[in-house]
Chains A and B, each alone.
Chain A
Amino acid sequence: MKNRIRVLRAEKAWSQAELAERVRVSRNSINAIENGRFDPSLPLAFRIADSFGLSVEEVFDKTDV
């Protein structure tokens, strides 16, 4: 599932490790989600969206779902 995590991180100047710490997962997990290799669960998707202050639809692209 495509997403805008990399762009949003760049806007906030967050590293993958910083985002990982905010949503309580490992940096490798953020990397996998960011590259579309792993689709997060709903709770994790909400935590990621909340960390950016956005809705889930604004972070993740559901067109390929």
Chain B
Amino acid sequence: MTTKPLGTFGRIALRFFLPIGIVSGSLLVAIQLLRPRPAVVEGLVAVTSIFVFGYSLFMGQQEARRSDEVERAGAGFANSNGWVWGGFATLALLMVPPVMNEVVDVVLKLPPAGLTDMHLAVRLGLIGGATLVMLIQGLAIVVASVIWRQRMRGS
């Protein structure tokens, strides 16, 4: 258990967001370098998504072990509400035409110029979309966690 909120956030930032950020950043660089090989890109995106999901579950279990009942109740509040808020936020975001158009443009640029494999582009879009949903849900969980902490402090 921790006695300093800043210490908790610092620990989570270092142990969770830093590895996720490094892996996701490396994926973006790899996508740019490996654009002539879309199958490899697709595989990397899938592996990265699985890593992000699996590592999130692992870190969640690690944090649950260190938590007391108030912190576990807060985690339950954050997870249950964050998943729902994040899901709806992603849907709402994708319904805004400029956002959806931008996402489609990014996906269409992934296969090398001249390649007409739209099946591959759709697959990449689906995997990217699933990753986007998880990222926004993760952010929503952080927001819900902050709301819980503010409620417990009485402000």
Which A residues lie at the B interface, using CB under 8 A? Answer: 17, 20, 24-29, 31-33, 35, 37-38, 40-41, 44
Contacts and interface: CB of A to CB of B under 8 A. Distances in A.
Interface of B: 1-3, 5, 68-71, 73, 149, 151-154
Nearest to B4: A27
Contacts, number: 47
A38 B73 contact: yes
Nearest to A32: B152
14 contacts: A17-B3, A24-B1, A25-B69, A26-B2, A26-B3, A28-B70, A28-B71, A28-B149, A28-B152, A28-B153, A29-B68, A29-B69, A29-B71, A31-B152
A44 B69 contact: yes
B1 A26 contact: yes
Contacts of A31: 152-153
